């Protein structure tokens, strides 16, 4: 891994190690006790009605959601409210509506870096998958910038969320987030190092119910910890970008695995640049990154230092009569690797 100790690592460096967790954490806004990932002047994406006080959301046929109101936008002058479809239930479907983002539990367990987090944000529309960049199957190369403004979707209030079966248990508390609706704050301290039980264990998630979403409950099966066997990582370790790179890890029960190479600065901080991202269905324990993807990512004046990350993901659902709330657990491992001949 890296010789920098965990407390000295920025949240951006943590984000570089696990691309999928970074995406969800940004959407949630608070992975620890109080530190936020959402910079000022972000784009607000939510229902058009959520930007105007007293406005009422219109529901489509078959929807059972309650109309909501929200305060006038008091955010930064550069904020932009983008209208979302208020409902994701097809016309005529009387089943629960699927919400976006949901509850995220995660753990990064690597030499020199142990970080655990819990976060939540309930949105009307699921976050669409990121397919940006140039495709090099089964991977893609996309520009990343840890300091870029993020899209913040309007957050719904589902009451206090309690997670049991983790160590320690977690409470995610709702509070007003201005024009962005409702945010959740985790009871975990920022320096929490471990959280998840062993692979296969069941964790329960329940929401007390709030102004927008009634009480809900569900369970989530934990993924196994990740152990990377190839390539060897660490300061001074190299991978020749002219040769395909095979990454192997302990095969598990992940429903999805994300293997990523994210650019790092000389002291291990996440920086803007080109990242290699491999979104894999299933958990076979191996992937070969095409050399063309490595060459594009390494196309810099000096050999880039990258954070190799392997993130194992399992998903579940909590629900009530009106909504399905996504539940996600991630486990990550990784370390630095230089792309140079």
SS (H, E, C) 158-182: CCCEEEECCCCCEEEEEEECHHHEE
Domain-embedded: residue 3: yes
Write the burial class of residue 227 (CB in 10 Å: 0-12 exposed, 13-18 middle, 19+ buried): middle
Of the ranges 77-86, 143-152, 162-171, 204-213, which one carries the lowest mean pLDDT score?
A: 77-86
CA angle in degrees (0–180, nearest 5) for 293-297-302? 140
Is there a domain that residue 61 lies in?
no
62 is a domain residue: no
For residue 249, the cross-strand partners are 228
* CA-to-CA dists, residue 100 to 121, 122, 129, angstroms: 8, 6, 12
Look at residue 9 and tell me whether its pLDDT is greater than 50.
no
How would residue 29 be classed by pLDDT, with cut points 50, 70 and 90?
Answer: low
Give the pairing of strands 139-144 and 134-136: antiparallel
Quick one: pLDDT at residue 171? 97
> Which pLDDT score is estimated for 341?
78
Domain that holds residue 335: 1-42+96-341
74 part of a folded domain: no
pLDDT bin (cut points 50, 70, 90) of residue 62 is: very low
Alpha-carbon span 122 to 159, nearest angstrom: 11
Reported as a single tens digit per residue, the pLDDT across 135-192 is 999 999 999 888 888 777 899 999 999 999 999 999 999 999 999 999 999 999 988 9
With CA atoms as reference, report the closest residue to 16 among 303, 275, 298. Answer: 275
pLDDT confidence band for 71 (50 / 70 / 90) = very low
Query: What confidence tier does 94 reach under pLDDT thresholds 50, 70, 90?
Result: low
Percent of the chain with pLDDT over 90: 53
Instruction: Report the predicted TM-score, pTM, of the whole model to 2 decimal places.
Output: 0.77
Q: Whose structure tokens read 């509506």?
A: 97
Domain-located, residue 140 = yes
Stretch among 24-33, 60-69, 241-250 having the lowest mean pLDDT:
60-69
Q: Which two tokens stand for residue 237?
A: 């370790």
Start-to-end CA span in the chain (Å): 20
Total number of domains in the chain? 1
Identify which of 132, 155, 135, 154 has the alpha carbon closest to the alpha carbon of residue 145: 132
Which pair of structure tokens corresponds to residue 285? Answer: 């324990």
At 30-58, the pLDDT tens digits run 555 333 322 333 344 433 333 333 333 33
pLDDT over 50 (residue 65):
no
pLDDT tens, residue by residue, 260-314: 999 988 777 888 889 999 999 999 999 999 999 999 998 765 668 898 999 999 9
Contact 252, 246 (CB under 8 A): no
Reading the block at residue 289, the tokens are 């990154």
**Per the domain annotation, does 76 fall within a domain?**
no
In a domain? residue 83? no
The pLDDT of residue 269? 80
- Is residue 81 domain-resident? no
């Amino acid at each position: 891994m890296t010789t920098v100790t965990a407390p000295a690592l920025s949240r951006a460096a943590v984000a570089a190690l696990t691309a999928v967790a970074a995406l969800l954490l940004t959407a949630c806004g608070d992975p620890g006790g109080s530190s936020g990932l959402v910079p000022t002047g972000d784009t607000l994406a939510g229902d058009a009605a959520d930007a105007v006080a007293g406005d009422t959301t219109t529901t489509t046929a078959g929807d059972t959601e309650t109309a909501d109101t929200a305060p006038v936008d008091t955010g930064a002058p550069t904020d932009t409210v983008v209208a979302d479809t208020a409902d994701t239930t097809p016309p005529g479907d009387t089943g629960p509506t699927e919400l976006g983002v949901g509850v995220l539990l995660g753990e990064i367990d690597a030499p020199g870096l142990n970080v655990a987090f819990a976060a939540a944000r309930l949105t009307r529309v699921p976050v669409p998958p990121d397919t940006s960049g140039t495709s090099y199957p089964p991977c893609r190369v996309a520009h990343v910038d840890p300091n870029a403004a993020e899209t913040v979707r309007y957050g719904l209030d589902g009451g206090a969320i309690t997670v049991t079966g983790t160590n320690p248990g977690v409470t995610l508390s709702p509070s007003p987030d201005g024009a962005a609706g409702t945010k959740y704050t985790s009871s975990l301290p920022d320096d929490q190092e471990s959280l998840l039980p062993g692979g296969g264990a069941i964790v329960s998630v329940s929401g007390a119910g709030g102004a927008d979403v009634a009480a809900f409950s569900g369970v989530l099966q934990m993924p196994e910890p990740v152990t990377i066997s190839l390539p060897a990582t660490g300061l001074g370790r190299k991978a020749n970008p002219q040769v395909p790179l095979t990454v192997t890890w302990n095969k598990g029960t992940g429903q999805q695995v994300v293997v990523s190479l994210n650019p790092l600065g000389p002291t291990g901080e996440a920086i803007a640049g080109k990242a290699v991202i491999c979104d894999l269905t299933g958990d076979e324990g191996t992937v070969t990154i095409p050399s063309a993807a490595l060459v594009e990512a390494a196309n810099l004046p000096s050999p880039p230092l990258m954070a190799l990350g392997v993130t194992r993901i399992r998903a579940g659902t909590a629900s009530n009569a009106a909504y399905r709330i996504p539940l996600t657990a991630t486990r990550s491992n990784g370390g630095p690797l230089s792309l140079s001949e």
